[in-house]
Structure 1
Amino acid sequence: MPPETLIALISLAAGTLFTPGPNNAMLAASGATFGFRRTLPHMLGVAVGFPAMVLIVGLALGGLFQTSLALQESLRWGGAALLMWIAWKIATSGGVSAGGGPARPMSFPAAAAFQWINPKAWVMAVAATSQFVTGPGPALAAGIVALTFLGGGLMSSATWVMAGQTIARILTSSGRRRIFNLTMAALIVLSVAQLVWH
């Protein structure tokens, strides 16, 4: 992969991985609720699951996904419905150190599997593979794209979990926890709206 193409790929990965979206909002909420150590499986599931998805899409599913409108639409609306449910659960949870929150953080397999129904993940995977997995040597190109997203995903996921953990220090009242949960839920709803309507 030429250096200028690799720079463009790194820029795309940074721009998409660090911006708010369903994964990042869920990681921040989990970091605030459970702390860094207990959120580690969730964080690694996102950081590893998405690059694995990119690799598979790049090698096998990219063309099918791009040519099947029915597949695109079913994934878009099914994923949007699931994300709205997750946003509702976050918005109505008790949050940090409160009894109404989830009993445990998301597991590694659940977080990795979640990528396959996350509309933002599909948009990112198809966009990245359609732009960078071209020409001769598609397997090598898909591997480079996946490794780039793995490195960026580890940094991004850790950043959002630490941000949530840091925020937890000021969430000392039920009112503050409520505002935080509503903000994280709103980020998910906004990302769903953006992905569905654009």
Structure 2
Amino acid sequence: MFLAIGLGLGSLFQQFPTIHLVITVIGVVYLTVLAWKIANAGAPEEKQNTQPITFLQSAGFQWVNPKAWIMATGAIAAFTRPADDMHWQVIQLTLVFMLAAIPSAWTWLLFGVGLQKLLKDPRNLRIFNLSMAMLLILSMVPVVLDLVDQLS
């Protein structure tokens, strides 16, 4: 999905660089709001035991998941430059996202139960949420610096 969106947007961004700038700004604003929501999130609600979705259902869901579209669009706008080879940049970003997803998924799988127990404590949950929000904000620093450079 990321690759398909990126290759489509890459062509659009090369034809209309202003769209790239606008989507980058929107992406930074969205991620800042998301960081705020993470920082202020409370404990998740208890869920009933339900049947988990299958791998294919999960993969299919990403195509209608607005957060996945926003993430892909925002990341492509934030971490590419229209003046450079967009296709190569999108391929590189796709590989980085895939490489980051594998250890992230394994970390959540392996430590999920332990984290769940640890995060039942409101203080630990607050520290965790603030840490995740700060990491998200820090991940945007290069993008914001590049925006400032482009606008000056």
TM-score range, shorter chain: 0.5 to 0.7
> Partner residue of 1:155?
102
Cα 1:147–1:177 change in 2 (3 A) is closer
Q: Over residues 167-194 of structure 1, what are the superposed CA-to-partner deviations in whole Å (9 max), with x where a residue is unaligned?
A: 3332231111000000111111111222
> Partner residue of 1:85?
33
Cα 1:76–1:128 change in 2 (3 A) is same
* Residue 113 (str. 1) matches residue 69 (str. 2): yes
Letter aligned with residue 30 of structure 2: L
Q: Over residues 78-136 of structure 1, what are the superposed CA-to-partner deviations in whole Å (9 max), with x where a residue is unaligned?
A: 111111111111110113568xxxxxxxx632233123442x33345667844378xxx
Which of 56, 60, 77 in structure 2 is aligned with 1:122? 77
Does structure 2 conserve the Cα–Cα contact (< 8 Å) formed by 1:62 and 1:130? Answer: yes
* Residue 190 (str. 1) matches residue 138 (str. 2): yes
**Sequence identity percentage:** 24
Cα 1:163–1:82 change in 2 (3 A) is farther
Does structure 2 conserve the Cα–Cα contact (< 8 Å) formed by 1:78 and 1:117? Answer: no
Does structure 1 conserve the Cα–Cα contact (< 8 Å) formed by 2:79 and 2:143? Answer: no
> Partner residue of 1:72?
20
Residue 156 of structure 1 and its aligned partner are, at CA, apart by 4.6
Aligned residue for 1:95, secondary structure, equals coil
Aligned residue for 1:169, secondary structure, equals helix
User: How far apart, in 2, do the equivalents of 1:177 and 1:128 lie?
Assistant: 42
Residue 63 of structure 1 and its aligned partner are, at CA, apart by 3.7
Q: How many residues align?
A: 127
Residue 150 of structure 1 and its aligned partner are, at CA, apart by 8.0
* Residue 62 (str. 1) matches residue 49 (str. 2): no
Residue 53 of structure 1 and its aligned partner are, at CA, apart by 1.9
Letter aligned with residue 67 of structure 2: A
Cα 1:162–1:122 change in 2 (3 A) is farther
Q: Which runs of 5+ in 2 are unaligned?
A: 47-60, 147-152
Cα 1:146–1:70 change in 2 (3 A) is closer
Does structure 2 conserve the Cα–Cα contact (< 8 Å) formed by 1:76 and 1:196? Answer: no
Letter aligned with residue 76 of structure 2: A
Does structure 2 conserve the Cα–Cα contact (< 8 Å) formed by 1:96 and 1:171? Answer: no
Letter aligned with residue 88 of structure 2: Q
* 1:7-46 equivalent positions in 2, closer than 5 A: none
Cα 1:146–1:86 change in 2 (3 A) is closer
Aligned residue for 2:28, secondary structure, equals helix
